[in-house]
Amino acid sequence: MSTKTNTLLIDCGNTYLKWCLFDSDNLTEQQSLHHKDASALEVYKDLIDSQTGTCNSVVLVSVLGDVFLAGARKIAEDAGMSIINADSQAKLATIQNGYDEPEKLGSDRLVAMIGGFELIDDQQACIVIDSGTATTIDAVDARGQHLGGVIFPGLELSLNSLSNNTELLPKLDLSEQQFEPNGLAINTTQAIASGCLLSLASAIDGICNKMQRQLETSSLQGSGNNKVEVKRLLCGGGAKILLPYLENDYDYHENLIMLGLKKIQVNEMEVTSKND
């Protein structure tokens, strides 16, 4: 009889459950399930049920709160799968949490940083940008020390906020917008869409520039060597729309959080092996 060795990696976001399989070596292509019209827990259960014949474990990160996590744990365990919740703590895998209260850092941010740190070389630092409902930007030095970060509204949230809080401005469907890259919009709909997009891109560029200078300064003060190279890593549902409007160099990685979950699972497997 074959042994189930796959791990189901799940990113439980505000709008989508994103997932892939990890077989102790390779990741499958990331897939996503929308949970707008059904409860996230129902969508999660359907996913678990679909993988009960192939997986023996789950590693997940969630922004959906304690009630969802309690339900997710019971569903996985009822299906015979062990489960790891990647919650925020002082150190997780390769990243030292920089928050003064480590448990208050969004766990999805921490996992994205772990994934980002897997993609850089020794003596490199990284800035991780996750563009979703919210936009988060976090700086990680070459030692894996998180220096801190920022949170501000994502593109769709910015568009909705402007439309919902003004009487005369139209409500916008992001999928139908045409953006004016130079800001020279010639109608109101285009002006709102372009303004929100370009302001978000400019904010990302400006904040990353500040963080990069700090990372470079910190590396020089710490070692006296040449300044560290800083990689900018972009992920999230809004990343593809943003990328053409960013003025600096960014590497887009759709599965950054999955890489972080994979690293957490690899670490768990190593600890288990040592203890056996």
Say if CB 60 and CB 32 are below 8 A apart. no
Catalytic hit among 11, 108, 130, 141? 108
Question: Catalytic annotation on 46?
Answer: no
271/70 Cα distance (integer angstroms): 25
Say if CB 185 and CB 179 are below 8 A apart. no
Parallel, antiparallel or unpaired: strands 134-140 and 91-92: unpaired
Say if CB 21 and CB 28 are below 8 A apart. yes
- The burial class, CB within 10 Å (0-12 / 13-18 / 19+), for 130 is buried
CA atoms within 13 A on the CB side of 248: 19
User: Phi, psi (5° rounding) for residue 264?
Assistant: -60, -45
- The burial class, CB within 10 Å (0-12 / 13-18 / 19+), for 181 is exposed
- The strand pairing partners of 19, in sequence order, are 10, 31
Parallel, antiparallel or unpaired: strands 134-140 and 251-252: unpaired
Q: Is residue 246 helix, strand or coil?
A: coil
Known catalytic residues are 108
